[in-house]
C-alpha cells in the first residue's frame, strides 16, 4: 500500500503546474460554488447507511442520507421491486425532513442485468437509464453521485480506467440538459489525480467533484489532520469545481496484531507463512473458501494473478488479519470511542472553513456486526465506524457530531 501512496504523491506533483499552485491557496468562492450551495441550502450535513430512527438521526444534526440506488430494471426491461422498495424508503426519509443523495449503480451491476457498458452498442442504453433515474426520482433525489470510487478494483472491475471514465462521463452528459436544480457529480477514493485528469473533458457536465478521505484508518502514511485541508485544496485547484466530501470517517476500535497472532491466523487456512500461501495458493484458497467464503469471493473478484499476492500486498491484508497495523492512526486520535469523538470535534471546523467545500458525508451511522468485505466479526476495518453501536445506542461521536454540526451555518 505504501507504493499506492507513493504513486498518488507522484501523480499529484505531475498534475500541479504553477497555475494550479496559485489555485491551491485561493480561498474565494466562485459563482458555481455559490449556486451549488444555494441549491443545497448551505453546508451539506450527511450520513451513509442510517437506520429509520429519523429523530435520532436528526438529533445528531444530520440532514442528508446518501443512498445507493438498486438497479432499476430487470433483463426484460421491467421495473424491479428492489428499486420500488428503495423509492419508498427514500420517500420516508424525505417525509421525515431528511434529504436524499442518490448513488447510481456500479458497472458490474449493469453487466449483471445484461448491459455491458464496455460495448459501444450499449452506450445509448446507459445514457437512457441515467435519464430514467434522474426523471423518475425528480423531487426525491436532490443530488446524484454517478457510481462510486472508479479506480478501485472492487468497484471498477471488470472495466479499466478509460472505460470507467467514459461510463461516468456519458451519464453526466445525458443528465446535464435535464437536471434543473439537481446536482450531479462523481467521486474518487483519495486524490486519484489520473482519474480527475481523464475526467476533465466531462467536468462541464458536473456540478461537483467528490472525494472520499479516510485518514488514519487504512494506511500508515499521510495521517495528519491537516491532510484533509491539503487534499480538498488540491482537488479544488486541479478542477476548479465545487468539492464535496462524499465519504469520510474514523474507526472507533482496532489494534495491532502480534507476529504470533498473525501466525495463528495463517494456520487457520493451512499455511504457516505468507510465502507458503503464495507457493501453495490452491490449498490456501480452498481453506479460505471453506472458512471465510465472503473473503474468498472478494479476493477472487479483485485479484489479477496470484490471489495471495493481492491479499497480502494490498490494504486487504488488514482485513485478513483483522487488525489496524502500526502507524494507521492520526496522532492524538486513538482508535477508541473517545478518539473517534475527538476526531469529529476537530475535523468539522476545518472543513467548514473551506468555502469551496459543499459539505461532508459521514461514514457511517451504525457499527456493523460483521465486516462487509471479509465477513469477520472481529475485523475493525468495516465494523466500528458508527456514531451509534450495534444496539443503536449513541457513542461519544454522536454527541461530538451534534455539537460540531450545530456550529456550522
DSSP states of 127-187 as a string?
HHHHHHHHHHTTTTEEEEE-SS-TTSHHHHTTS-HHHHHHHHHHHHHHHGGG-TT-EEEEE
Residue pair 144/102 in contact by the 8 Å Cβ criterion: yes
CATH architecture of the domain with range 2-254+330-406 = Alpha-Beta Barrel (3.20)
pLDDT tens sequence across 320-371:
999 999 999 999 999 999 999 999 999 999 999 999 999 999 999 999 999 9
Radius of gyration, alpha carbons of the chain: 21
Give pLDDT, residue 25.
53
Q: Alpha-carbon distance 318 to 122, whole Å? A: 38
Buried b / exposed e over 263-295, threshold 16 CB at 10 Å, is: eeebeebbbeebeebbeebeebbebbeeebeeb
Residue pair 235/385 in contact by the 8 Å Cβ criterion: no
Q: Alpha-carbon distance 206 to 42, whole Å? A: 19
Q: Alpha-carbon distance 104 to 133, whole Å? A: 8
CA angle 199, 243, 87 (to 5 degrees): 85
Q: Alpha-carbon distance 316 to 382, whole Å? A: 11
- How many distinct helices (H) and strands (E) make up the chain? 19, 8
Instruction: Say if strands 99-103 and 141-145 run parallel, antiparallel, or are unpaired.
Output: parallel
Alpha-carbon dihedral angle through residues 385, 390, 393, 399, given to the nearest 10 degrees: 0
Domain with CATH 3.20.20.80 in the chain: 2-254+330-406
pLDDT tens-place values along the chain, 409 residues long = 444 444 445 545 554 444 444 454 555 679 999 999 999 999 999 999 999 999 999 999 999 999 999 999 999 999 999 999 999 999 999 999 999 999 999 999 999 999 999 999 999 999 999 999 999 999 999 999 999 999 998 899 999 999 999 999 999 999 999 999 999 999 999 999 999 999 999 999 999 999 999 999 999 999 999 999 999 999 999 999 999 999 999 999 999 999 999 999 999 999 999 999 999 999 999 999 999 999 999 999 888 889 999 999 988 999 999 999 999 999 999 999 999 999 999 999 999 999 999 999 999 999 999 999 999 999 998 999 999 999 999 999 999 999 999 999 7
In the chain, the percentage of residues whose pLDDT exceeds 70 is 93
Amino acid at each position: 500500500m505504501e507504493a499506492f501512496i507513493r504513486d498518488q504523491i507522484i501523480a499529484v506533483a505531475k498534475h500541479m503546474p504553477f497555475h494550479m499552485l496559485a489555485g491551491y491557496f485561493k480561498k474565494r468562492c466562485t459563482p458555481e460554488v455559490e449556486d451549488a450551495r444555494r441549491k443545497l441550502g448551505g453546508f451539506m450535513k450527511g450520513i451513509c447507511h442510517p437506520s429509520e430512527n429519523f429523530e435520532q438521526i436528526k438529533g445528531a444534526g444530520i440532514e442528508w442520507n446518501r443512498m445507493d440506488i438498486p438497479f432499476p430494471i430487470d433483463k426484460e426491461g421491467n421495473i424491479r421491486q428492489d428499486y420500488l422498495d428503495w423509492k419508498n424508503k427514500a420517500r420516508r426519509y424525505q417525509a421525515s425532513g431528511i434529504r436524499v443523495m442518490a448513488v447510481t449503480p456500479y458497472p458490474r451491476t449493469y453487466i449483471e442485468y445484461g448491459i455491458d457498458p464496455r460495448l459501444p452498442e450499449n452506450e445509448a442504453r446507459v445514457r437512457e437509464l441515467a435519464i430514467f433515474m434522474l426523471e423518475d426520482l425528480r423531487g426525491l433525489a436532490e443530488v446524484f453521485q454517478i457510481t462510486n470510487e472508479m479506480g478501485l478494483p472492487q468497484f471498477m472491475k471488470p472495466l479499466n480506467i478509460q472505460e470507467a471514465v467514459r461510463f461516468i462521463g456519458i451519464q453526466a452528459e445525458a443528465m446535464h440538459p435535464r437536471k434543473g436544480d439537481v446536482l450531479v457529480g462523481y467521486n474518487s477514493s483519495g486524490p486519484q489525480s489520473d482519474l480527475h485528469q481523464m475526467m476533465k473533458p466531462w467536468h462541464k457536465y458536473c456540478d461537483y467533484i467528490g472525494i472520499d478521505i479516510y485518514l488514519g484508518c487504512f494506511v500508515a502514511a499521510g495521517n495528519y489532520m491537516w491532510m484533509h485541508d491539503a487534499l480538498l485544496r488540491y482537488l479544488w485547484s486541479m478542477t476548479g469545481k465545487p468539492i464535496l466530501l462524499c465519504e469520510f470517517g474514523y474507526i472507533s476500535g482496532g489494534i495491532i496484531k502480534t507476529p504470533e497472532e498473525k501466525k495463528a491466523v495463517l494456520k487457520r487456512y493451512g499455511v504457516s507463512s505468507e510465502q507458503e500461501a503464495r507457493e501453495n495458493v490452491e490449498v490456501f484458497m480452498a481453506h479460505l473458501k471453506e472458512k471465510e467464503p465472503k473473503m474468498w469471493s472478494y479476493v477472487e473478484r479483485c485479484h489479477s494473478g496470484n490471489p495471495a499476492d493481492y491479499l497480502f500486498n494490498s490494504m486487504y491484508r488488514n482485513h485478513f488479519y483483522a487488525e489496524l497495523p502500526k502507524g494507521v492512526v492520526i496522532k492524538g486520535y486513538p482508535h477508541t470511542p473517545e478518539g473517534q469523538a475527538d476526531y469529529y470535534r476537530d475535523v468539522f471546523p476545518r472543513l467548514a472553513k473551506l468555502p469551496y467545500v459543499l459539505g461532508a458525508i459521514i461514514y457511517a451511522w451504525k457499527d456493523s456486526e460483521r465486516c462487509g468485505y471479509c465477513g469477520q466479526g472481529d475485523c475493525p476495518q468495516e465494523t466500528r465506524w458508527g456514531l451509534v453501536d450495534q444496539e443503536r445506542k449513541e457513542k461519544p461521536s454522536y454527541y461530538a457530531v451534534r455539537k460540531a454540526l450545530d456550529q456550522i451555518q
